[in-house]
Amino acid sequence: MENGTHFRTCHLCEAMCGIAIEVSDGEIQSIKGDDNDPLSQGHICPKAVALKDLHEDPERLRKPVRRTADGWQEMEWDDALDFVANRLHRVRQEQGRNAIGVYLGNPNVHNHGALIANPSFLKALGTQNRFSATSNDQLPHMLANLELFGHQLMFPIPDIDRTDLFICIGANPMASNGSLMTVPDFRGRLKALQARGGQMIVIDPRRNETASHADAFHFIRPGTDALLLMAMVHTLFEEQLVSPGHAEQWLKDADLVRLAALPFSPEAVSDHTGIAADTIRDLARQFASTPKAVLYGRMGTSTQAHGGVATWLIYTLNILAGKLDVPGGVMFTQPAVDLVALAAMSGQTGHFDKRRSRVRQLPEFGGEYPASTMADEMLTPGDGQIRAFVTIAGNPVLSNPDGGRLERALADLDFMVSVDYYLNETTRHADVILPPTAALERSHYDLIFNLFSVRNSAKYSPALFERSDDARHDWEILLGLAHRLERLHKGGQLPLQTELGWRAFRQLGPDGILDLALRSGPYGTDLGPLRPVARNLADLITDLFPSGHPLHGLAELSPVYRRWSELPKGLSIRSLKACPSGVDLGPLQPCLPERLFTRDGRINLAPRRYLADLDRLHQLLASPVSEDLQLIGRRHVRSNNSWLHNSQRLVKGKDRCTLLIHPKDASRCGLKPGDMAEISSAVGRVVLPVDITEDVMSGVVSIPHGWGHTREGTGQSIAAAHAGASINDIIAADQVDRLSGTSVLNGQSVKVRLWRAERSRKRA
């Protein structure tokens, strides 16, 4: 490791901030924002500095460990991989392939090695019991992409740098730094927006960190967004404000949307949403009459009982008001590794509800079942019951609804393996933990977040620290397991051609494949005489990917592809290495209709699935407004899901895992400042300090997720000293958005009361 400044991308959240890491004597001296990064221009948040803690954390696992009667025992890599492959193979032989379940957590998408290796591993597992964080997150967006644009990866992204009106509903980019909107320095971009006379409006059950910078803010009752959005659609039609602009020529069935919205007048939805009818009309008018405007929704509108319909309506409003595919509206990215085009070329634009889960009959999305039903599949006997489980970079005990039940299910398995470098609430149930290298020991390229970026750019970061001989990357672990499994399935031997493929894959590694993808992508370099060689190589390795995997398209791509012929050329790993702060590839560009993947080349505004789900919305409108307290989540800029709490500098200070409650509700529940509250639901209860505040809507309480480091036998002492409680211990897993299968993480009913032990302690 050389002394000096190393430039790379922070991989912790979606913002892709450029960082400058000062190293001397093999140690990190400082981590600062990289002013030359074309996207983030020097911005970072407090988490970036914690990359040092993560790297140096003595509690981070560095070698495989196996659970024994005398505790965890270290293993050599080959032994560990053989052992795991044999155990998984045995389960498959004895109980069938679906007896193995697998869960992929969020950090996989921040890791190009894992992204490239996972499909081969999943193929080798061969199970239909696949789960991921998607169904606790962005599934409704992917479904809307698929239904409206014909491709699950066609995410419309707010063109925030050129818009004049940013309506933010159910998102908190000031804390999250943006999601499905890679937007480093949201604050700075917002200031610029406001400086050019633009406005931001926030709609949320909590006056969140983003709201405090807004020009207008409206409370909304959790789970009622679809009603509000319907009323906005209603108003657009009623007041002849529908004006799709250049998208009009590809639209169909707008009239069905008009009819669907008829019963949802602003007056009709006002009580339920908690927003005055006049305010709703004004919102619709302001949105329609501002030429450059964006309506943006995220976790709050997606992970709730009507997440599917709410997300569809957000898309629909943008389209009806003429904000799609125009500067200042919602636009599509053109990343250097064009996963959209690659996937389309290999025939994989996505699918939904091709089959249903065994126990609850929930729909698959992209080959995954809703994570809310993971425990059911483990605990319910019968053919296809999950008896062995694999987690890769996930902590579902804390991140999944009803973590308590999932925990019991994990404890009851025949075998479990986790690819993870922490012994945490989930991995403590594993028989073997396989820890990968830490982020700074591997190269980095954002395959996914460039799809969401508010501006096109590209950046490659080589590994900063050399890994030890005894360390394995995620991709090596996954390929190691996949190769062993494939051999075992075939009775020990694979055909020569396949073995050659494996060797080529390992030799190329994710960086070799990335290089091919960059060179053959929109900003690549024509390979010239190397093209046939690359094609053979790509053909060889693509055998190892499932059919329909984006990499199958690799050999067909070309930087001189018609649509791309205008773009600047020359990207490869080598050329990117010469620009360690990254290269700017310009603002988002209109790309429709070429980039539409629907069969008829049009945008169907009223897909059957959404219309069929409107019965539930009518029922919501017809039922009385709930008197129960509604639970919502929250995020804090110094935390990241469940796994950064072992960094002292991030957890220090005021307790952040608290219950936010409105003064009226607090007094109704007999709570005063300084009290502890017991929050309970049908599935569990947690106890937390109360934070009484008018920033949360009356009738709503808020708890952040990712806490609850109270479980025995974990290996994160700092996290355990700042344990908090897990919101997912009281979120029921049987509540999903019935349309999409997405977990209802926001808007479940809970009961709150003074915690009795606290009461008695005070009396004493």
Ligand X SMILES: Nc1nc2c(c(=O)[nH]1)N[C@H]1C(S)=C(S)[C@@H](COP(=O)(O)OP(=O)(O)OC[C@H]3O[C@@H](n4cnc5c(=O)[nH]c(N)nc54)[C@H](O)[C@@H]3O)O[C@H]1N2
Site for Mo ion in 136-175 (CB under 5 A): 137
**Count of CB atoms situated within 10 Å of the CB of 670:** 12
Task: Quote the CA–CA distance of 607 and 551 in Å, as a whole number.
Answer: 30
Closest approach, Cβ 529 to ligand X, in A, equals: 38
Assess contact for 193 and 160: CB atoms under 8 A.
Answer: yes
Closest approach, Cβ 380 to Mo ion, in A, equals: 28
Site string for ligand X, 208-237 (x = CB under 6 A): x-----------x-xx-x------------
Selected from 9, 111, 127, 525, the binder of ligand X by CB under 6 A is 111
Q: Tell me whether residue 636 or residue 738 sits nearer to ligand SF4 (CB atom).
A: 636
Report residue 641 as tokens.
Answer: 């899901």
Query: If contact means CB under 5 to 8 A according to the sort of partner, which of ligand X, ligand SF4, Mo ion, none does residue 598 touch?
Result: none
Q: Computed from CA positions of residues 527, 532, 534, 535, in that sequence, does the dihedral angle turn out positive or negative? A: positive
Query: If contact means CB under 5 to 8 A according to the sort of partner, which of ligand SF4, Mo ion, ligand X, none does residue 515 touch?
Result: none
Residue whose CB is nearest to ligand X in the complex, by number: 300
Strands 676-680 and 685-692, bridge-based pairing: antiparallel
Q: Tell me whether residue 602 or residue 616 sits nearer to ligand X (CB atom).
A: 616
Q: Computed from CA positions of residues 182, 184, 187, 193, in that sequence, does the dihedral angle turn out positive or negative? A: negative
Residues with Cβ < 8 Å from 678, sequence gap 6 or more?
A: 685, 686, 687, 752, 753, 754, 755, 756
Strands 157-158 and 251-252, bridge-based pairing: unpaired
DSSP string for residues in 461-485: B--SSPPPTT-B-HHHHHHHHHHHH
Q: Tell me whether residue 64 or residue 173 sits nearer to ligand X (CB atom).
A: 173
Selected from 419, 432, 478, 677, the binder of ligand X by CB under 6 A is 419
- Give me the residue label for tokens 């970036």: 48
Rule CB under 6 A: say whether 10 interacts with ligand SF4: yes
Residue type, 681: S
Helix (H, G, I), strand (E, B) or coil at 583: strand
User: Which region, left, alpha or beta, applies to residue 356 given φ > 0 means left and ψ of -120 to 50 means alpha?
Assistant: beta
Rule CB under 6 A: say whether 635 interacts with ligand X: yes
**395 closest CA partner among 686, 133, 631, 650:** 133
Site for ligand SF4 in 172-201 (CB under 6 A): 177, 184
Task: Quote the CA–CA distance of 687 and 677 in Å, as a whole number.
Answer: 6
**396 closest CA partner among 104, 108, 165:** 104
Report residue 516 as tokens.
Answer: 């091919």
Site for ligand SF4 in 46-65 (CB under 6 A): 47-48
Site for ligand X in 562-621 (CB under 6 A): none
- How many chain residues are in contact with ligand X, going by CB under 6 A? 65
Query: If contact means CB under 5 to 8 A according to the sort of partner, which of ligand SF4, ligand X, Mo ion, none does residue 166 touch?
Result: none
The stretch near ligand X (CB under 6 A) out of 71-79, 259-267, 628-636, 686-694 is 628-636
Query: If contact means CB under 5 to 8 A according to the sort of partner, which of ligand SF4, Mo ion, ligand X, none does residue 220 touch?
Result: ligand X
Task: Quote the CA–CA distance of 412 and 615 in Å, as a whole number.
Answer: 39
Selected from 6, 12, 170, 724, the binder of ligand SF4 by CB under 6 A is 12
Task: Quote the CA–CA distance of 749 and 726 in Å, as a whole number.
Answer: 16
Closest approach, Cβ 114 to ligand X, in A, equals: 6
Q: Tell me whether residue 18 or residue 178 sits nearer to Mo ion (CB atom).
A: 178
Rule CB under 6 A: say whether 169 interacts with ligand SF4: no
Selected from 38, 335, 741, 747, the binder of ligand X by CB under 6 A is 747
Closest approach, Cβ 617 to ligand X, in A, equals: 14
Closest approach, Cβ 406 to Mo ion, in A, equals: 18
Closest approach, Cβ 44 to ligand X, in A, equals: 12
Q: Tell me whether residue 206 or residue 358 sits nearer to ligand X (CB atom).
A: 206
Rule CB under 6 A: say whether 647 interacts with ligand SF4: no
User: Which region, left, alpha or beta, applies to residue 710 given φ > 0 means left and ψ of -120 to 50 means alpha?
Assistant: alpha
The stretch near ligand X (CB under 6 A) out of 105-113, 464-472, 543-551, 572-580 is 105-113
Closest approach, Cβ 339 to ligand SF4, in A, equals: 20
Rule CB under 6 A: say whether 745 interacts with ligand X: yes
Report residue 399 as tokens.
Answer: 């991140």
The stretch near ligand SF4 (CB under 6 A) out of 7-15, 86-94, 422-430, 595-603 is 7-15
Assess contact for 676 and 689: CB atoms under 8 A.
Answer: yes
Rule CB under 6 A: say whether 44 interacts with ligand SF4: yes
Closest approach, Cβ 42 to ligand SF4, in A, equals: 11
Rule CB under 6 A: say whether 105 interacts with ligand X: yes
Query: If contact means CB under 5 to 8 A according to the sort of partner, which of Mo ion, ligand SF4, ligand X, none does residue 205 touch?
Result: ligand X
Closest approach, Cβ 11 to ligand SF4, in A, equals: 7
Say how many CA atoms lie within 13 Å of 230 toward its Cβ: 29
Closest approach, Cβ 31 to ligand SF4, in A, equals: 9
Rule CB under 6 A: say whether 260 interacts with ligand SF4: no
Task: Quote the CA–CA distance of 164 and 190 in Å, as a whole number.
Answer: 10
Closest approach, Cβ 133 to Mo ion, in A, equals: 6
Assess contact for 719 and 651: CB atoms under 8 A.
Answer: yes
Report residue 753 as tokens.
Answer: 């009361």
Closest approach, Cβ 702 to ligand SF4, in A, equals: 22
- How many chain residues are in contact with Mo ion, going by CB under 5 A? 1
Question: Count H helices, E strands: the chain?
Answer: 26, 28
Phi, psi of 635 (to 5 degrees): -120, 155
What is the dihedral angle through the alpha carbons of 322, 218, 399, 736, rounded to the nearest 10 degrees? -70
Report residue 521 as tokens.
Answer: 């992508």
The stretch near ligand SF4 (CB under 6 A) out of 15-23, 151-159, 507-515, 659-667 is 15-23
Closest approach, Cβ 425 to ligand SF4, in A, equals: 22
Rule CB under 6 A: say whether 20 interacts with ligand SF4: no
The stretch near ligand SF4 (CB under 6 A) out of 11-19, 69-77, 422-430, 539-547 is 11-19
Query: If contact means CB under 5 to 8 A according to the sort of partner, which of ligand X, Mo ion, ligand SF4, none does residue 10 touch?
Result: ligand SF4
The stretch near ligand X (CB under 6 A) out of 200-208, 570-578, 656-664, 748-756 is 200-208
Closest approach, Cβ 761 to ligand X, in A, equals: 29
**636 closest CA partner among 14, 47, 137, 33:** 47
SS (H, E, C) 238-286: HCCCCCCHHHHHHEECHHHHHHHHCCCCHHHHHHHHCCCHHHHHHHHHH
CB environment 203-234: b (16+ within 10 A), e (fewer): bbbbbbbbbebbeebbbbbbbbbbbbbbbbbb
Selected from 420, 613, 678, 729, the binder of ligand X by CB under 6 A is 420
Rule CB under 6 A: say whether 646 interacts with ligand X: no
Residues with Cβ < 8 Å from 444, sequence gap 6 or more?
A: 8, 9, 11, 112, 460, 461
Chain positions contacting ligand SF4, by CB under 6 A: 10, 12-13, 15-17, 44-45, 47-48, 177, 184
Chain positions contacting Mo ion, by CB under 5 A: 137
Chain positions contacting ligand X, by CB under 6 A: 13-14, 105-107, 111, 133, 136-137, 169-173, 175-177, 179, 203-206, 208, 220, 222-223, 225, 298-301, 304, 392-396, 399, 419-422, 424, 436, 439, 474, 632-637, 639-643, 705-706, 727-728, 731, 745-747
